[in-house]
């Protein structure tokens, strides 16, 4: 019979770390001094420091959202976290210039190899700062900007300041406020009008140090009629103590632009992953969030699209896999704010052992709008008897000129299904993997090829030890 | 000897004894049928031989070409060469027929080896044509939303593709109309050969008009109570099962 996992699932690819000397260390705990230190190290303009200090106040004022979210949030101890760790060198343009320990980390994660094979640009962040950042020279000539947040705010304020913190205000939630106070790293991207990138840009976020908080800040602006696909991957080693990852990602798709944002996160089980992601879509623009959440202790992430221009389209495609000791609390937000806007949400979650997955969806369509459409499908698959799933849809639709459709399903891999597959000669674990892959197969196809292969492998690894 | 041999098999589910010392031998090259009233333990026999985890073996033996199969995992028994065509095939959403059969074929190869896609599809299409299945079925999810007839055809397709040494067909005729029954039976008949033993479990004589058995066994209360030639099936059709039960008691 199928029983819960007794075995610690191995996701060893990311489970290693190098002892590293940091030239800049903001110390332990959060205070105004820590923020002044970060801002000084980064040689920021005064307006950025002001922005940070205001955000700290907001963070301190805001309560933990435990009135709706899990009590586990109370176990985050902000006083023992290190908020800024950096080697103090500018991002290198060649891997040769990257310090050995950092370079070895990314070599082991396969980043330089992927870059050679299929990427138009790469940024590799090690703890607080980017260690490597390079983009195809052709794109640079066309005016594409792909830099870290520090460089973006300093070198291109005329482009980035206009939108910085506008899609996700500091006060959106406690963790967006925290990020706004201590942010470091992340990507700032600008695609000029009409420029369509044939290959994706990629960022890789790596946590190396223990008790460290990673707070990257990403802002992507796709100007009129441009197209870009951005991919991010994340890993961290397994430490005894918990680690915090709290990013803010803002996307702006101007008239007719297309942004696809692909995430594959494979955090170790000690990471609190509390991320705010939101996009603004202008007239006829299209934003797709394609998201896969594997690992972490707790993930709270609800990518959203504000459909502000006529005929704008928003989409969230997400896969979440919750294993023993993990809670994937994910979902989507679709805010319709113009006529004929459409949104689509497809979410699939898998709960293994005592894992728990939750779906939270928010759809808003005010009554004065016409011709808006939303379709939401959320399906949950339970593997073991004590696996858990829950769904919290919040749909507000007014008026009679809009349409909304919501479908949800929960299914369980049954012992009879496994017996049937075993009777054809497949081992129990293989049968289980096939069921799970079958469940998410249509969504995996939405990921770029290079990621979908990796995803299938990760899912197979997660399934090992889930039976027996 | 090359046979599926069952001796004095006793088995139970949730402490309820179902098989009470059943003996039966199916040599390669023969087709045997088991008939019997509802609740006599026919399907239990199929599941116990396939290693279903809900059943407990309380005694006796079962061997496949002299190799013990009791206590093995279902997939081990399958790879030794026993195929069970299910009475109620399970639906597996998202897993296509082609991928499923391919995975089952790969499971029979040494670690690291895989079937060649071109050869595999050629063979698959031939069998599908024989069974009158639309080739588009390869891309459909296994049994997902299939009609009764489609499910049974899909069982015979899998059986053909895995070329087992011994086949057990559990109530394969249930839920089939006459046309589907004929197609499925033809599929089974194509698989009759001197290197394969087949056990047909059925409630009705009708199936045995299409798949003509060498021997017919009557099962009652967890045992084989009578064995005869194909004419025994007709006798059962006429007289019902009660007279055999009474004889068995006497």
The pLDDT value given to residue A6: 30
Name the one residue in this structure whose structure tokens are 């979410």.
Answer: A347
Q: Which of B91, B95, B162 sits opposite A434 (nearest CB)?
A: B95
Percent of chain B with pLDDT over 70: 98
The pLDDT value given to residue B20: 96
The pLDDT value given to residue A5: 34
Task: Tell me the nearest-neighbour CA distance from B74 into chain A, angstroms.
Answer: 5
The answer to whether A442 contacts chain B (CB < 8 Å) is yes
Is A422–B95 a contact, with Cβ atoms under 8 angstroms apart?
no
> Above 50 in pLDDT, residue B177?
yes
Residue A355 · residue A323 · CB < 8 Å: yes
The pLDDT value given to residue B2: 92
The domains located in chain B, with CATH, are 3-93+164-249 (3.40.50.300)
Distance set, CA A423 to CA A430, B6, B62, B79 (Å):
12, 19, 17, 9
The pLDDT value given to residue A2: 37
CA-wise closest residue to A245 among A253, A236, A254: A236
Residue A328 · residue A356 · CB < 8 Å: yes
Task: Tell me the nearest-neighbour CA distance from A27 into chain B, angstroms.
Answer: 50
In this prediction, residue B245 has a pLDDT band, given cuts at 50, 70 and 90, of: confident
Q: How many inter-chain contacts (A to B, CB under 8 Å) are there? A: 81
Is A416–B95 a contact, with Cβ atoms under 8 angstroms apart?
no
Distance of CA B225 to the CA centre of its chain: 21
Show Cβ contacts of residue B92 under 8 Å, excluding neighbours closer than 6 positions: A417, A420, A421, A434, A435, A438, B100, B141, B142, B143, B144
The pLDDT value given to residue A242: 77
Per residue in A70-120, pLDDT tens? 999 999 999 989 898 877 667 777 888 777 777 777 777 777 777 777 677
The two structure tokens encoding residue A27: 């110390």
Residue A279 · residue A253 · CB < 8 Å: yes
Q: Which residues of B touch A419 (CB under 8 A)?
A: 50, 52-53, 74, 90
Whether this model's ipTM surpasses 0.90 comes out as yes
CA-wise closest residue to A127 among A153, A147, A101, A108: A101
Distance set, CA B62 to CA A269, B8, B10, B69 (Å):
46, 9, 10, 6
The pLDDT value given to residue A468: 45
The pLDDT value given to residue A466: 66
CA-wise closest residue to B11 among B41, B33, B39: B41
The answer to whether A440 contacts chain B (CB < 8 Å) is yes
Residues (pLDDT < 50) of chain A are: 1-11, 468
Show Cβ contacts of residue A91 under 8 Å, excluding neighbours closer than 6 positions: A123, A129, A130, A131, A132, A133, A148, A151
- Residue boundaries of the structural domains of chain A: 12-463
Q: Which of B53, B94, B162 sits opposite A441 (nearest CB)?
A: B94
Is A425–B162 a contact, with Cβ atoms under 8 angstroms apart?
yes
């Amino acid at each position: 019979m199928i029983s819960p996992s007794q075995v610690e699932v191995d996701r060893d690819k990311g489970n290693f770390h190098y002892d590293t000397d940091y030239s800049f260390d903001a110390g332990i705990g959060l205070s105004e001094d820590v923020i002044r230190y970060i801002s000084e190290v980064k040689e920021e303009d005064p307006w950025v420091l002001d922005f940070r200090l205001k955000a700290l106040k907001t963070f301190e004022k805001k309560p933990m959202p435990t009135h709706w979210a899990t009590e586990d949030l109370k176990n985050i101890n902000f006083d023992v976290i290190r908020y800024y760790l950096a080697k103090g060198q500018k991002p290198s343009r060649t891997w040769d210039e990257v310090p050995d320990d950092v370079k070895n980390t990314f070599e082991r994660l396969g980043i330089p190899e992927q870059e050679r094979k299929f990427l138009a640009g790469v940024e590799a962040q090690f703890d607080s700062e980017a260690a490597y950042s390079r983009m195809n020279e052709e794109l640079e000539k066309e005016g594409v900007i792909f830099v870290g947040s520090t460089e973006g705010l300093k070198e291109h304020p005329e482009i980035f300041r206009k939108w910085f913190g506008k899609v996700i205000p500091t006060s959106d939630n406690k963790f967006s406020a925290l990020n706004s106070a201590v942010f470091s790293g992340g990507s700032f991207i600008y695609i000029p009008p009409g420029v369509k990138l044939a290959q994706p840009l990629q960022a890789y976020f790596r946590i190396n140090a223990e008790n460290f908080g990673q707070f990257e800040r990403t802002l992507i602006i796709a100007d009129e009629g441009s197209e870009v696909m951005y991919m991010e991957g994340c890993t961290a080693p397994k430490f005894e103590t918990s680690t915090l990852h709290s990013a803010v990602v803002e996307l702006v798709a101007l008239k007719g632009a297309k942004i696809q944002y692909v995430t594959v996160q494979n955090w170790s089980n000690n990471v609190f992953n509390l991320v705010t992601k939101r996009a603004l879509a202008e007239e006829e623009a299209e934003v797709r969030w394609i998201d896969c959440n594997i690992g972490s202790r707790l993930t709270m992430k609800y990518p959203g699209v504000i459909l502000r221009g006529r005929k704008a389209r928003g989409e969230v495609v997400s896969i979440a896999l919750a294993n023993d000791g993990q809670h994937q609390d994910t979902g989507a937000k679709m805010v319709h704010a113009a006529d004929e806007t459409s949104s689509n949400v497809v979410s699939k979650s898998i709960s293994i052992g005592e894992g728990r997955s939750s779906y939270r969806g928010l759809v808003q369509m005010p009554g004065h709008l016409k011709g808006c459409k939303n379709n939401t499908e959320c399906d949950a698959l339970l593997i073991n008897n004590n696996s858990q799933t829950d769904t919290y849809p919040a749909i507000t639709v007014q008026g009679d000129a809009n349409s909304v459709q919501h479908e949800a399903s929960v299914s369980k891999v049954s012992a009879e299904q496994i017996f049937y597959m075993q009777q054809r000669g497949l081992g129990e674990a293989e049968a289980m993997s096939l069921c799970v892959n079958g469940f998410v197969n249509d969504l995996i196809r939405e990921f770029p090829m290079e990621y979908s292969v990796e995803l299938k492998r990760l899912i197979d690894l997660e399934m090992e030890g889930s039976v027996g | 000897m090359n046979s599926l041999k069952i001796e004095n098999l006793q088995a139970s589910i949730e402490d309820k004894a179902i098989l009470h010392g059943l003996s039966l031998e199916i040599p390669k090259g023969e087709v045997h049928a088991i008939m019997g009233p509802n609740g006599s333990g026919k399907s239990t026999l199929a599941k116990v031989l396939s290693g279903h985890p809900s059943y407990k073996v309380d005694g006796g033996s079962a061997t496949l070409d002299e190799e013990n199969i009791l206590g093995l995992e279902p997939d081990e028994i399958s790879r030794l060469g026993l195929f069970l065509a299910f009475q109620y095939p399970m639906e597996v959403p998202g897993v296509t027929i082609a991928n499923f059969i391919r995975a089952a074929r790969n499971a029979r190869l040494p670690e690291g080896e895989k079937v060649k896609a071109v050869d595999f599809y050629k063979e698959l299409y031939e069998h599908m044509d024989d069974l009158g299945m639309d080739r588009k079925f390869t891309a459909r999810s296994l049994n997902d939303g299939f009609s009764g007839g489609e499910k049974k055809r899909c069982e015979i397709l899998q059986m053909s593709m895995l070329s087992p040494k011994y086949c057990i067909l559990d109530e394969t005729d249930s839920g089939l109309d006459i046309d589907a029954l004929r197609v499925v039976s033809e599929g089974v008949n194509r698989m009759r050969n001197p290197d394969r033993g087949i056990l047909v479990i059925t409630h009705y004589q009708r199936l045995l008009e299409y798949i003509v058995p060498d021997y017919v066994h009557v099962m009652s209360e967890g045992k084989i109570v009578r064995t005869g030639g194909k004419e025994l099936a007709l006798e059962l059709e006429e007289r019902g099962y009660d007279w055999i039960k009474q004889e068995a008691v006497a």
